Structure 1
Amino acid sequence: MTIVITGASRGIGATLAAQYKDAGEEVIGTARGAGAGAVLDVTDPASHTAFAANLADRPLDLLICNAGVYLDKGDDLDAGFGPDLWTQSFATNVTGVFLTVQTLMPNLRAAKSAKIAIIASQMGSSTRAPGGSYIYRASKAAAINLGRNLAVDLKPEGIAVGIYHPGWVRTDMGGDQGEISVAESARGLVQRIAALDLAQTGAFETWDGRPHPL
C-alpha cells in the first residue's frame, strides 16, 4: 500500500508515518521543508504541481490530509484574530486539504479502492461550540464540510473519505494537558482508516471509533 501523509515532520503526522512504515507500508511523508522526506507546502499550488510530478503516475492507496495550523490559540476577542491569521489558517486547513486532494486525484483513481482521511478536530463541531479560537474552529468546521461533500462526489468512483477527530493529543499544538499521547491517537486513527469503506464514507468519527456530532 502506498500512503501520502501531509504534515508528517512532527506530531501526529510523523507518528502515523512511523506506524505505517513499521507495518511494512510505503509511506511518503511531506512537510514544508525537507524534514519529512518530501517537500510540499499545502498552501502553494506550485508546490503541489512539483510534488505530483515527482509522484508521477504511481497509484495512491491512501491520502492522509494531516497538515494544519492553530495560529489563533489564546487570542483575545478585543485585540486578536487578525485578518492575516484568518488567511493563513484557511489556506492551510481548508484550501490546503482541497488542493492536495485535487492534485492527487489521478493517483487515487489509479489505485483500487483508494481512501482519503482528513484529520479535522472536534473544535470544528457546530454542536460542540464553547467559544473562543474562532479561526481554528471555523477552519476545521470548513474542513469537515469539505470532507463530507468530497465523500458524496467520490463515492461513485469507489473512493471513501473519512473525517477524524484525533483526540486532545499531547503535541505542540495540543499542549501538555492533552488527554492522550501521540502514539495512542495514531494507533486509533490507523484502526479507523483501516475500517473505512464506502458504507462509512463522509462520517466524522473520533480516534477511538465514536461518531462525533457535526
Structure 2
Amino acid sequence: MTVVITGTSRGIGAGLVAAYMARGADVIGTTRQGPHRLDVTDPASHAAFAHGLDGRAVDLLVCNAGVYLDKGQGLEEGFPVAQWADSFATNVTGVFLSVQSLLPNLRAAKAAKIAIISSQMASSERAPGGSYIYRASKAAALNLGRNLASDLKVQGIAVGIYHPGWVQTDMGGSAADIGVDEAVAGLVARFDALNMSTTGVFETWDARAHSF
C-alpha cells in the first residue's frame, strides 16, 4: 500500500506518517523541505513531485497541508487581503492541485481513496463568528471534496472529508481537546472505512457524521 500525505513536518501529518509506517505501508510524507519536497501552492512543485513518482500507484492520498493565519484577529482591523490569498492558496488550491497532479497515480491503484482534512469550522451550521479566513477556506475545501467525490465516483476513487478534532498541535494550541495520537488513530480508522458507498462523507475523527 502506498500512502501520500501532504504537510507532514509536524502535528497530525507527522503522526499519520508514523501510524502508516507502523502498519508497514510505503509512506511518502511531503514537506516544503526534505526528501519528498512539495509546496502545495506551487504548480511546478506538484509537477516535479508527480514526475518523481514515475507512474507509481497511490492507494491513499491524504490532503493534510494547511494554514491558520488569521487566528485571534479582530473584525475591524484584521484579516488583510494577503492572508486571504495565502490561506486559500494552501487550504483550497493546494488540495485541488494535489488531487489533480496525482490523478494518474490514483487511477493506477485498484481502489484509491482521497482524504481531505477540513474542520468543524467549515460547517455552515456551526458559525460562532471570527476566524473568517480559516473558516471560509475550510468550507471551500469541504465543498471541493464533495464535488470531487461526485466526479471521481465513476472512476472508482472514493473521497472523504474529515474534521480531525480540536488537536493539541501548534495550530490547535495546548488547550485543545485531544492529543495527536488520538486524532491520528481516529482518522486512520475513518480512512479505512471509506469506500464507494460512503464517498463524499463529512465525518469527525471519532466516526460522527458532521453537519454541513
TM tier, smaller? over 0.9
| 2:139 matches 1:116 | no
* Aligned counterpart in structure 1 of residue 102 of structure 2, from 100, 104, 107: 104
Residue of structure 2 in register with 1:158 after alignment: 156
Show CA shifts across 1:150-207 (max 9, x none): 0000001110001000000000000011100001000000000000001110010000
> Scaled by the length of structure 1, what TM-score is found?
0.98
CA distance in 2, matches of 1:33, 1:43: 14
Partner amino acid, structure 1, of 2:33: G
Partner amino acid, structure 2, of 1:16: L
- Determine helix, strand or coil for the equivalent of 1:31: coil
Show CA shifts across 1:44-72 (max 9, x none): 00100100010110000000000000000
* Aligned counterpart in structure 1 of residue 137 of structure 2, from 130, 136, 139: 139
> Scaled by the length of structure 2, what TM-score is found?
0.99
Q: What's the C-alpha RMSD, in Å, of the aligned pairs?
A: 0.4
Residue of structure 1 in register with 2:27 after alignment: 27
| 2:187 matches 1:189 | yes
The 4+ residue runs of structure 1 with deviation greater than 2 A are none
| 2:49 matches 1:51 | yes
- Determine helix, strand or coil for the equivalent of 2:30: strand
Residue of structure 2 in register with 1:60 after alignment: 58
CA distance in 2, matches of 1:31, 1:72: 22
Partner amino acid, structure 1, of 2:139: A
Residue of structure 2 in register with 1:38 after alignment: 36
Residue of structure 2 in register with 1:79 after alignment: 77
C-alpha displacement at 1:33, in angstroms?
1.3
CA distance in 1, matches of 2:211, 2:124: 8
CA distance in 2, matches of 1:107, 1:57: 6
> What are the ranges of 5 or more consecutive residues in structure 2 without an aligned counterpart?
none
Q: Percent same amino acid at aligned positions?
A: 68
Residue of structure 1 in register with 2:9 after alignment: 9
CA distance in 1, matches of 2:176, 2:122: 17
- Determine helix, strand or coil for the equivalent of 1:39: coil
Partner amino acid, structure 2, of 1:140: K
C-alpha displacement at 1:147, in angstroms?
0.2
Residue of structure 1 in register with 2:146 after alignment: 148
Show CA shifts across 1:12-32 (max 9, x none): 000000000001000000011
| 2:168 matches 1:170 | yes
CA distance in 1, matches of 2:45, 2:31: 11
Partner amino acid, structure 2, of 1:175: G
Residue of structure 2 in register with 1:91 after alignment: 89
Residue of structure 2 in register with 1:203 after alignment: 201
Partner amino acid, structure 1, of 2:57: P
Show CA shifts across 1:72-96 (max 9, x none): 0011111110000000000000000
| 2:124 matches 1:126 | yes
Partner amino acid, structure 1, of 2:149: A
